[in-house]
Structure 1
Amino acid sequence: MTQPKKNHRKPKIVVGDVDYKRLTDLAAAAQERFPEVAEELQSEMDRAHVVQAGTVPAKVVQMGSTVEFRSDSAQQRRVTLVFPGEADIAENRISILTPIGAALIGLSTGQSITWTALNGRQHALTVVSVEQPALAVPGSLPG
């Protein structure tokens, strides 16, 4: 008897146009130094549904979002997704240029994704909650 195959299709993701532009530029700039992560980030941007920055739902992980997620090891973590220069693991600020950072961008509360760590091991995570930064992008508030 064969085991059913797991569905490895990635979930649909949403990215604001401002993040999309910055992240595709970052992926291109990082291609020489961090080719694997740069390619993964570009792949995520290629499959993203891009919307106007002010219309990204609050439950979607964006740059600057604080995300609580549960990993396949049943560990729950709370991190803030940031650009490389702002990363500080001691402060739970993870770079978008890490495999887990690239995996988180654009996910919504309740979505799960499988991602590959730098050591080649596959992991899964599920987004439990998303909080947007206190300072909103100008023009993103209803009004």
Structure 2
Amino acid sequence: MHKNLAGERLLTELDFTRLNKLRGGPLPAALVDALDAQDLVPSREIPPDIVTMYSQVIVEDLASRKRQKLTLCYPSDAEPHLGFISVLSPVGASLLGQRVGATARWRTPNGDTCAAEIVTLLFQPEASGDYTT
């Protein structure tokens, strides 16, 4: 089991296994670091306020105070214009494993620093009894 020294982020064992299969391609450094540092738990034991794959969240940009709904997904399902954000994107990697109330931080491809608070978790597959998505 991987341990996060700060104990801040959790990941289901299933998400960890599936995301590690993506390591054959170019993964963002932030995601590699996250996979190497997160605490792992069985899907049935993940707290309902943790962002897992296919979770739907409301985030609030700390600079603009603009809120938006995002769904964290795998690259093949990404449709950013519809709010489906790939876990391989900077914002997606920063959301994975975070708890409601946490601040996700990332850098854009042009180097800008961004931050958003996870305001609400609208949907988490595991909380609805889906342990295999």
Q: TM-score if structure 1 supplies the norm length?
A: 0.79
Structure 1 position 105 matched with structure 2 position 96: yes
Percent pairwise identity? 27
**Equivalent position of 2:3 in the other structure:** none
Structure 1 position 47 matched with structure 2 position 37: yes
Q: TM-score if structure 2 supplies the norm length?
A: 0.85
Deviation at 1:135, TM superposition (A): 6.5
Rounded to whole Å, the distance in 2 between the matches of 1:67 and 1:29 is 28
Deviation at 1:115, TM superposition (A): 1.2
Q: Which runs of 5+ in 2 are unaligned?
A: 1-5
**Equivalent position of 1:83 in the other structure:** 74
Change (3 A) 1:118 1:11: farther
Residues 34-73 of structure 1: CA distance to partner in whole angstroms, max 9, x if unpaired?
x5x2x21110111111111111111100001001111122
Q: Which runs of 5+ in 1 are unaligned?
A: 1-9, 139-143
Pick from 121, 128, 136 the counterpart of residue 119 of structure 2: 128
**Equivalent position of 1:137 in the other structure:** 131
CA contact (8 A) 1:87 1:94 kept: yes
CA contact (8 A) 1:23 1:41 kept: no
Q: Computing the radius of gyration over CA atoms, which structure comes out larger, 1 or 2? A: 1
Once superposed, what is the RMSD of the aligned Cα atoms?
Answer: 1.7
